[in-house]
Amino acid sequence: MSQNDQAQLVEQTPRVSAGGGSNQVRVRAYNERLVLSLVRQNRGYSKADIARMTGLSAQTVSVIMRSLESDKLLLRGEPVRGRVGQPSIPMYLNPEAVFSFGVKIGRRSADLVLMDFVGQIRMQKHRTYRYPHPDHLLPFICEGIAEMEAQMSEEHQARIAGIGIAAPFELWNWAEEVGAPDGAMEIWRTVDLQAEVASRMSHPVYLRNDATSACGAELVFGAGSQHPDFVYFYIGSFIGGGIVVNSSLFVGRTGTAGAIGPLPVRDKHGQTRQLLDIASIFVLENLLRERGIDPQPLWYAAEEWIDFGEPLEIWIQDTAAALAQAVIAAVSIIDFSAAIIDGGFPDWVRSRLVTATVEAVNRLDLQGVVIPEIIEGAVGAQARAIGGASLPIFARYLIDQTVLFKEIENAEGN
């Protein structure tokens, strides 16, 4: 996460008082976020559940939930009977209540999605290119959003929370690897993508690193509820990743924690290389070119990959061997319960890669190492765009996992 990103999120998030939720009117907006966040994480919670988890009074919770229902942010489920007293009424987020746009900027392709309040993609657009450049990315984003808005009702348009962009840091790096002309990527040293989009659109715009965004999507919409601590690998044009500790993203002092691309690993020839030089899709692209196979299907759409046969299997085995070393290195530092692997490829490729990684881990010297569960990501190829789309929603309606769990712990300790 960039310093600008961190500063913006701080500005958008209300200050939190210690010791659980507050009944004071001045922090009512925060308590609403707290309720929405708990309902999002625990579908079907009742008012009694919320009061117990937050430490708020039953009367305060009733007032908040009535307000959220009135604003159509919450929906009532069918009453649950069978207990003493009044029946329990489960509450759910209303998918139609809030929408946001998510943008993924990759080194070979871009995606634009419209996401609803529960993380479902309603519309999407995809564009491929030789290399990313502001002259074609800005029209793709702004015109694409305008086209999507034109298909929405006025009521839904009024419920757009904003635009979240997931993009790699320092896009000008590795220009040679993606085959960009000399100097063509240098423009990114001076372009502020967030500011450029904001100047053209009426919605607030948020920015976060692409791999961190993908990890955040996995935390919120994927395996995060089952694994409070995990190391995350997302394989795009270049591999990136993230770290989740105590059910919250850990970005570190400079915002680069979990940027596992530079991690040193040994290749099949015994040479030490960076992980990104082995476990990245651009490596598969080069393998295909060397064999006279058109690599363009890699970038059309993740679900449209074909089985490229021998070069794909070589890439899977080499990538798995490198990932296995990265997993062992990660759990040697932090005792992660899981290592999650995802990427911009079809489910069947992800499945083969995870299976090969498990096999590669079992071939290593594991003395003194507790092997984590190595699993497939649950969000998929659109994880970066979904993570971007979640930024405006969290900024306006929800609270992050760290604060949420602290509130629950405080309430339970009182």
Q: Which CATH number belongs to the domain containing residue 337 in this structure?
A: 3.30.420.40
Backbone angles phi, psi at 371, to 5 degrees: -70, 130
21-27 CB contacts, 8 Å cutoff, 24+ apart:
21/54, 21/55, 21/56, 21/60, 21/407, 21/411, 23/56, 23/57, 23/60
pLDDT of residue 252: 85
Task: Give pLDDT, residue 262.
Answer: 94
Whose CA is closest to 61, among 78, 74, 72, 80? Answer: 74
218 found inside a domain: no
Q: Which residues of 62-71 are buried (b: 16+ CB within 10 A; e: fewer)?
A: eebbeebeee
Statement to judge: residues 200 and 301 lie in one domain: no
Same domain, 237 and 312: yes
For residues 125 and 230, state if they share a domain.
no
Residue 219 lies in a domain: no
Overall domain count for the chain: 3
Same domain, yes or no: 203 and 288: no
Instruction: Indicate which CATH number applies to the domain containing 31.
Output: 1.10.10.10
The verdict on residue 35 lying in a domain is yes
* Residues 135, 277 share a domain: no
Q: What is the pLDDT along the chain (414 residues), one digit of tens a residue?
A: 333 333 333 323 322 233 344 333 333 488 898 999 889 888 888 888 899 888 888 899 999 999 999 999 999 988 777 666 567 889 999 999 999 999 999 988 999 999 999 999 999 999 999 899 999 999 999 999 999 999 999 999 999 999 999 999 888 987 887 788 999 899 999 999 999 999 999 999 999 999 999 999 999 899 887 998 999 999 999 999 999 998 888 888 887 888 899 999 999 999 999 999 999 999 999 999 999 999 988 988 888 899 999 999 999 999 999 999 999 999 999 999 999 999 999 999 999 999 999 999 999 999 999 999 999 999 999 999 999 999 999 888 987 655 555 555 555 565
Are 215 and 243 within 8 A, CB to CB? yes
Cα–Cα distance list, 399 to 9, 30, 36, 143, 375 (Å)? 11, 8, 9, 31, 27
Is residue 341 in some structural domain?
Answer: yes
344 and 284 within one domain: yes
The pLDDT of residue 180 is 87
- Domain identity same for 78 and 125: no
Q: Report how far residue 46's alpha carbon sits from residue 65's, in angstroms, rounded to the nearest whole number.
A: 10
Task: Take residue 141 and report the two structure tokens written for it.
Answer: 């984003």
56 vs 61: CA distance, rounded Å:
6
Same domain, 284 and 242: yes
Residues 296 and 408 in one domain: no
Cβ atoms 340, 377 nearer than 8 A: yes
Given CA atoms 9, 190, 161, 26 in this order, what sign does their dihedral have?
positive
Q: Is 0.95 topped by the overall pTM?
A: no
352, part of any domain: yes
Residue 220 lies in a domain: no
Residue-level pLDDT at 402: 54
Closest residue by Cα to residue 259 from 281, 275, 237:
275
What is the token pair recorded at 97? 């209540």
Q: State whether 122 and 263 are in the same domain.
A: no
Q: Say if 90 falls within a structural domain.
A: yes
Considering the domain architecture, whether residues 374 and 231 belong to the same structural domain is answered as yes
Strand partners, 249: 244
Residue 166 domain boundaries: 99-213+384-388
Structure tokens at 309: 């046969």
Q: Is residue 221 part of a domain?
A: no
Same domain, 61 and 110: no
Compute the distance between CA of residue 317 and CA of residue 323 in angstroms, rounded to an integer. Answer: 10
Cα angle: 100, vertex 40, 167; to 5 degrees: 40
